[in-house]
Amino acid sequence: PVPRTVLLTGAAGGIGTRMRELLPPYGYALRLFDARPVEGEPDAVTADLSDTAALREAVRGADAIVHLAGISGEAPFGEILRANIEGTHHLYEAARAAGVRRVVFASSNHAVGFAAPPRPGEPLLGTGGPHRPDTFYGLSKCFGEDLAQLYWDRAGIETVSVRIGSCFPEPTTVRMLSTWLSPADCARLLHAALTAPEVGHTVVYGSSANTRLWWDLAPARALGYEPRDDSERYAGRLVAEQGEPDPDDPGHACLGGTFCTEPPDWPD
């Protein structure tokens, strides 16, 4: 059955903005939550994830939650701690209090950013390997996945953790030829994650059916996801501009790309 009322956190963000258009046709009534005002949506809740009263109020009566809110790239540890780690904990506590049974968590490829992309002929990456976060940001996604597991084992809240590749209108780098998730495929995947029966806590990679894919989409397909897009139609232009990815270039030697090569934000 399709859960009717779905709380969408991070609704003002890049993915949230696209999902506000693309999810309702699947039958959802979206409730919107973001620290920033959501343009053109006077009923959206404008509140931080640390505002537990606002969060509980927003979650009450929802059938499911799509949790996109958070810092979406590297930042000082204290900021990641508040928004992504404590914020996601607050979200699960609100879900538990309200009896929400299903969460879809926006994890990231940066939870395993230091894994090496498969070379030609090697098998695609599965979800069974260890976490290898490439940043404090990636570490917060590892935490979110483990938090989801805890709330399944202890509280019976089901989660699909989607390790999103790169969800933008178009791929803009040759790396994204491997990692791109088109917005339309993102909506297909979120719909599958919201409606698949008995997911417990399931971790999947989230990409389109890219010719140059690095990871196995079988776990996502098992939820009912059928991607329709392939980044390859952008390959000619991107490769002409940027060249073929060189696997010996440090920026291409790990899944996380430049997240693995930027200097870490350690305190002095």
Query: What are 38's two structure tokens?
Result: 């959501």
* Nearest-approach distance from CB 96 to ligand 15L, in angstroms: 26
Among 88, 127, 135, 166, binds ligand NAI (CB under 6 A): 166
The answer to whether residues 71 and 138 touch, using CB atoms and an 8 Å cutoff, is no
Pick from 76, 83, 31, 80: nearest CA to 57 = 31
Q: What residue ranges in the chain does DSSP mark as E strands?
A: 5-9, 29-34, 45-46, 64-67, 102-108, 158-164, 201-206
Which residue out of 28, 92, 137, 225 is catalytically annotated? 137
- The residues that touch ligand 15L, with contacts defined as CB under 6 A, are 72-73, 108-110, 166, 179
Query: Between 151 and 259, whose beta carbon lies closer to ligand NAI?
Result: 259
Contacts of 208 (CB under 8 A, 6+ apart): 180, 181, 182, 185, 227, 228, 229, 230, 231
* Nearest-approach distance from CB 15 to ligand NAI, in angstroms: 4
Q: Please confirm, yes or no, whether 225 is among the known catalytic residues.
A: no
Among 48, 57, 63, 93, binds ligand NAI (CB under 6 A): 48
* Nearest-approach distance from CB 268 to ligand NAI, in angstroms: 26
The answer to whether residues 222 and 185 touch, using CB atoms and an 8 Å cutoff, is no
Residue nearest to ligand NAI (CB): 13
CA distance readout (Å), 12 to 8, 41, 69, 82? 10, 10, 9, 19
Query: Between 13 and 219, whose beta carbon lies closer to ligand NAI?
Result: 13
* Nearest-approach distance from CB 68 to ligand 15L, in angstroms: 10
Q: What is the number of residues in the chain? A: 268
Is the four-CA dihedral 201, 158, 164, 219 of positive or negative sign? positive
Name which of residues 102 to 131 contact ligand NAI (CB under 6 A).
106, 108
Query: Between 217 and 268, whose beta carbon lies closer to ligand NAI?
Result: 217
Q: Is 35 in the site for ligand NAI (CB under 6 A)?
A: yes
Select from 6-14, 116-124, 196-204, 242-250 the region that touches ligand NAI (CB under 6 A): 6-14
- Cα angle at 159 between 146 and 192, to 5 degrees? 140
Among 23, 58, 62, 68, binds ligand NAI (CB under 6 A): 68
Helix (H, G, I), strand (E, B) or coil at 212: coil
Q: Is 49 in the site for ligand NAI (CB under 6 A)?
A: yes
Determine the distance from the C-alpha atom of residue 46 to the mean position of all C-alpha atoms in its chain, rounded to a whole number: 21
Q: Hey, which residues are catalytic here?
A: 137
User: Where does this chain bind ligand NAI (CB under 6 A)?
Assistant: 10, 12-16, 34-36, 48-49, 68-72, 83, 87, 106, 108, 164, 166-167
